Amino acid sequence: MGITERRERERQEIREKILDAARELFASDGYEAVTMRRIAEKIEYSPTAIYFHFKDKEALLRDLCDTDFAALATHFQTIARIADPIERLRQIGLAYVEFGLTHPNQYRFMFMTPRPPLSPDASAIERGNPEEDAYAFLRATIQQGISEGRFRPELQDADLLSQVVWEATHGVISLPICKCNDGWVDWRPVQGSAELVIDALIRGLTRKAE
């Protein structure tokens, strides 16, 4: 009975068409500037057809975020093999920055938009599991660094250190997103700023190598 399978396949195809169009428009013009009508026009459907496949406009963005977040987690897995915790920490930061730069709209949605708490069971990610939970992965790396005595002796709180590194890196990505086109500041490229922040922060947090 291949009929339901074909139906399901066709359904996924139009879903993908909608997502592709939305991704392209969100990326070029930003979430708010893109209208449902424009997405619909791009795929040559009526605007309301989208609502048959997605609950609302935000569901489109959320779907795109899920996809990209999974990609980030996968990317993190290649970093997991680095033995040295400090070098691994550095690579986590760089990967995070690259994610933010290549998916600015998803980044905005995920990390720069205050939102009501999501029901935890609604998330597909297992909290605390470093293979799925990116924060847990970061924290485990930091914890290893603490255990191996790589951080300055007064710094023993893995959560505090994790948050500080995350926050500083987040600032490098997010501030230019909000302020890049205000014409006030002559912004330096984010990539270079990010490397500088990560390296300087690591230098300032770690113990001197003997």
- Site for DNA, rule CB under 7 A: 1, 3-4, 7, 10-11, 14, 34-38, 45-49, 51-53, 56-58
Q: 63 is in the binding site of which of its own copies, DNA, none (Cβ under 5 to 8 A by kind)?
A: none
DSSP assignment of the chain equals: -HHHHHHHHHHHHHHHHHHHHHHHHHHHH-TTT--HHHHHHHHTS-GGGHHHH-SSHHHHHHHHHHHHHHHHHHHHHHHTT---HHHHHHHHHHHHHHHHHH-HHHHHHHHSS--PPPPGGG-SSPTT-TTT-HHHHHHHHHHHHHHTT-B-TT---HHHHHHHHHHHHHHHHHHHHHHTTSSSS-PPPHHHHHHHHHHHHHHHHBPPP-
Shortest Å distance, C-beta 8 to its own copies: 30
Residues 163-192 binding its own copies (CB under 8 A) are: 163-164, 166-172, 174-179, 181-188, 192
Partner interacting with residue 46 (select from DNA, its own copies, none; CB below 5-8 Å by kind): DNA
* Residues making contact with its own copies (CB under 8 A): 30, 108, 111-118, 120, 127, 133, 135, 155, 157, 159-160, 163-164, 166-172, 174-179, 181-188, 192-193, 196-197, 199-205
